[in-house]
Amino acid sequence: MKISAKQKLVKNLFSKKIRMIPTRDGYGEGLLVLGRKNPKVVVLCADLAESTRSQGFANEYPERFVEVGVAEQNLAGLAAGIALTGYVPFMSSYAVFSPGRNWDQIRVSICYTRANVKIAGGHTGLSVGPDGATHQALEDIAITRVLPNMTVIAPADAIEAKKATIAMAQMEGPAYIRLGRAESEVFTTEKSPFEIGVAQVLASGTDISIIACGPLVYTALVAAEELKKKHKIKAEVINCHTIKPLDVKTITTSAQKTGVVVTVEEHQIHGGLGGAIAECLAEHVPVPIRFVGMPDSFGESGEPAELLSKYGMTMEKIVSNVLDVIKVK
Amino acid sequence: MPKPVTEIKELYKISNEIRENIIKSLEKAGSGHSAGPLGMADVFTALYFNVLRHDPKRPHWRDRDRVILSAGHIVPVWYATLAEAGYFPKRELWTLRKLGSPLQGHPEYHSIAGIENTAGPLGQGVSVAVGMAYSLRHFAKSNQQVYVISSDGEQNEGQTWEAVMFAAKHRLPNLTMLMDRNNIQIDGATEEVMPLDSIRAKYEAFNWHVIEVDGHNIKEVVDACNQAKAIVERPVCIICHTIPGKGVKFMEGKYQWHGKSPKGAEARVALRQLRTMGGKISVIDSE
Q: How far is A47 from chain B (nearest CA, A)?
A: 13
By C-alpha distance, the chain A residue nearest B107 is A113
Lowest mean pLDDT among A271-275, B68-72, B276-280: B276-280
**Which residue of A47, A67, A85, A107 to mutate against B (max B Cβ within 10 Å)?**
A85
What is d(CA B71, CA A152) in angstroms, rounded to the nearest whole number?
30
Asked if the Cβ–Cβ distance from A74 to B120 is below 8 Å, we say: no
Asked if the Cβ–Cβ distance from A113 to B117 is below 8 Å, we say: yes
Catalytic residue selected from A29, A50, A60, A72: A72
Asked if the Cβ–Cβ distance from B134 to A82 is below 8 Å, we say: yes
B129 vs A contacts (CB less than 8 Å): 81
Confidence of residue B280 (pLDDT cuts 50, 70, 90): very low
CA distances from A297 to A124, A268, A300, B16 (A): 15, 8, 10, 59
Calculate mean pLDDT across residues B54-61.
97
Interface of A with B (CB under 8 A): 42, 63-64, 66, 68-69, 71, 73-74, 76-82, 84-87, 104-105, 108-109, 112-115
> What pLDDT is attached to residue A66?
98
> Which element (helix H / strand E) includes A329?
none
What is d(CA A211, CA A273) in angstroms, rounded to the nearest whole number?
9
> What pLDDT is attached to residue B182?
96
3-state secondary structure of A216: helix
Q: How far is A62 from chain B (nearest CA, A)?
A: 11
> What pLDDT is attached to residue B275?
82
Q: Name the E strands within A48-141.
A: 65-67, 88-94, 118-122
Q: Which of B68, B118, B130 sits opposite A108 (nearest CB)?
A: B118
Asked if the Cβ–Cβ distance from B128 to A84 is below 8 Å, we say: yes
Going by C-alpha positions, the residue among B107, B110, B121 that lies closest to residue B60 is B110
Mean predicted lDDT score pLDDT of chain B: 95
Identify residue B25 by its one-letter amino acid code: S
Query: Angle B16-B18-B20 (CA atoms, 0-180°, nearest 5)?
Result: 70
> What pLDDT is attached to residue B277?
63
> What pLDDT is attached to residue A1?
81
What is d(CA B126, CA B73) in angstroms, rounded to the nearest whole number?
14
> What pLDDT is attached to residue B281?
43
Indicate if A160 belongs to the active site. Answer: no
Domain ranges of chain B: 8-277
> Which residues face A200 on adjacent strands?
A239
**Which residue of A38, A40, A72, A78 to mutate against B (max B Cβ within 10 Å)?**
A78
Query: Angle B46-B49-B54 (CA atoms, 0-180°, nearest 5)?
Result: 115
Asked if the Cβ–Cβ distance from B127 to A104 is below 8 Å, we say: no
Task: Assess contact for B254 and B227: CB atoms under 8 A.
Answer: no
CA atoms within 13 Å, Cβ hemisphere of B188:
5
> Which residues face A89 on adjacent strands?
A42
> What pLDDT is attached to residue B276?
73
Asked if the Cβ–Cβ distance from B127 to A42 is below 8 Å, we say: no
- The reported pTM is 0.96
By C-alpha distance, the chain B residue nearest A69 is B166
CATH of A20-185 given 3.40.50.2000, 3.40.50.970, 3.40.50.720, 3.40.50.80? 3.40.50.970
By C-alpha distance, the chain B residue nearest A39 is B139
**Percentage of the residues of chain B whose pLDDT score is greater than 90:** 94
pLDDT in tens, chain A (329 residues): 889 999 999 999 999 999 999 999 999 999 999 999 999 999 999 999 999 999 999 999 999 999 999 999 999 999 999 999 999 999 999 999 999 999 999 999 999 999 999 999 999 999 999 999 999 999 999 999 999 999 999 999 999 999 999 999 999 999 999 999 999 999 999 999 999 999 999 999 999 999 999 999 999 999 999 999 999 999 999 999 999 999 999 999 999 999 999 999 999 999 999 999 999 999 999 999 999 999 999 999 999 999 999 999 999 999 999 999 999 98
By C-alpha distance, the chain A residue nearest B136 is A85
Asked if the Cβ–Cβ distance from B127 to A81 is below 8 Å, we say: yes
Task: Assess contact for A143 and A99: CB atoms under 8 A.
Answer: yes
Q: How far is B111 from chain A (nearest CA, A)?
A: 10
> What pLDDT is attached to residue A22?
98
> What pLDDT is attached to residue B284?
42
What is d(CA B155, CA A255) in angstroms, rounded to the nearest whole number?
53
B70 vs A contacts (CB less than 8 Å): none
**Mapped to the 3 state alphabet, what secondary structure does chain B carry?**
CCCCCCCHHHHHHHHHHHHHHHHHHHHHHCCCCCHHHHHCHHHHHHHHHHHCCCCCCCCCCCCCCEEEECCHHHHHHHHHHHHHHCCCCHHHHHHCCCCCCCCCCCCCCCCCCCCCCCCCCCCHHHHHHHHHHHHHHHHCCCCCCEEEEEECHHHHCHHHHHHHHHHHHCCCCCEEEEEEECCEECCEEHHHHCCCCCHHHHHHHCCCEEEEEECCCHHHHHHHHHHHHHCCCCCEEEEEECCCCCCCCCCCCCHHHCCCCCCHHHHHHHHHHHHHHCCCCCCCCCC
Confidence of residue B278 (pLDDT cuts 50, 70, 90): low
B108 vs A contacts (CB less than 8 Å): 112-113
Asked if the Cβ–Cβ distance from A112 to B118 is below 8 Å, we say: yes
Task: Assess contact for A69 and A203: CB atoms under 8 A.
Answer: no
Q: What is the CATH number of domain B8-277?
A: 3.40.50.970
A149: number of Cβ within 10 Å: 15
User: Is a pLDDT exceeding 90 seen at residue B279?
Assistant: no
What backbone phi and psi angles, to 5 degrees, belong to A139? -125, 0
What is d(CA B250, CA B273) in angstroms, rounded to the nearest whole number?
10
By C-alpha distance, the chain A residue nearest B64 is A85
What is d(CA A75, CA B128) in angstroms, rounded to the nearest whole number?
10
> What pLDDT is attached to residue A228?
98
DSSP track, A30-54: HHHHHHHH-TTEEEEESS-TTTTT-
Interface of B with A (CB under 8 A): 68, 108-109, 116-121, 123-136, 138-140, 158-159, 162-163, 165-166
At the topology level of CATH, where does A2-17+193-326 sit? Rossmann fold (3.40.50)
Asked if the Cβ–Cβ distance from A80 to B158 is below 8 Å, we say: no
What is d(CA A45, CA A70) in angstroms, rounded to the nearest whole number?
9
Domain ranges of chain A: 2-17+193-326, 20-185
By C-alpha distance, the chain A residue nearest B62 is A85
Query: What ipTM does this complex have?
Result: 0.95
What is d(CA A32, CA A67) in angstroms, rounded to the nearest whole number?
17
Asked if the Cβ–Cβ distance from A84 to B117 is below 8 Å, we say: yes
pLDDT digits (tens, 9 = 90+) for B83-109: 999 999 999 999 999 999 999 999 999
Query: Angle B252-B92-B150 (CA atoms, 0-180°, nearest 5)?
Result: 45
Beta carbon pairs, A and B, within 8 Å: 100
> What pLDDT is attached to residue B1?
86
